[in-house]
Amino acid sequence: MLKASIRKELPGFTVDIDLQFDNGILVLFGPSGSGKSTVLNCLAGLQKPTAGRIALGNRVFFCKQQGINLPVRTRRIGYVFQDYALFPHLKVKDNVLFGLPPGPTRCKKKRGYRMSVRETLEMMKIMHLQDRYPAQLSGGERQRVALARALMVEPDLLLLDEPLSALDSEIRNALQQDLRQLQRTWHIPFLLVTHSHQEMEALADEVIFLEAGRPIFKPAWQPLAAGSVL
């Protein structure tokens, strides 16, 4: 279970939020500038909270009182950025492998349900693209590469910062279905940031509405039943 109490003071703005989430897809919903990406960055270790505590299961990532602040590389958190952040000079396969330690076991299957690089490329339907560069890919293909790279670190938590916002509706709808199936397969919490009502309705198991850095009350929200049409 993810349990996080995050306070991040920024110039003229403070993010103050409590999270408690076990499994499924938790959506942070709100307008641009409401602090959604700041929450993800604090969870990932890219920003240090001013105060609070972040833990996933029995692993404490950050605790102000105890002086704990684990580095990004040890948190085992996958992160898909809004612009995908692929390395333009690396081919698809090398982008997917980036961040894994070098050595003979780099591409091998590890524990449990985790996958080898080949299985990851096949699952994300990008095996045939492994020798291409990001500039040779479509938006949907780049998104799949970014997801594959996030999965290769064997995450216990996956963060997604508006990963579908730049895609057309047909590709976006297909990838939304892929994300839901991926979460059901991996059984780890996904935390997704969006300001799209359609994306929230399609993906969320739970929703936190964020405004000016703080959760706001909304009427009871229920996810759509499986197979519902928006």
Domains defined along the chain, listed by start: 1-76+155-223 (3.40.50.300), 86-154 (no CATH)
Rounded Cα distance, 143 and 150, in Å: 11
Provide mean pLDDT across the span 4-32: 92
Q: What is the pLDDT of residue 84?
A: 81
Rounded Cα distance, 159 and 143, in Å: 13
pTM of the model: 0.84
Give 42-78 pLDDT, tens digit per residue.
Answer: 999 999 999 999 999 999 999 999 999 999 989 999 9
Residue 2 near residue 157, CB atoms below 8 Å: yes
What is the percent of the chain where pLDDT is above 90?
Answer: 45
> What is the layout of strands, in order, in the sheet containing 25-29?
77-80, 157-161, 190-194, 25-29, 206-211, 214-215
224 — pLDDT class (breaks 50, 70, 90): low
Residue 204 near residue 40, CB atoms below 8 Å: no
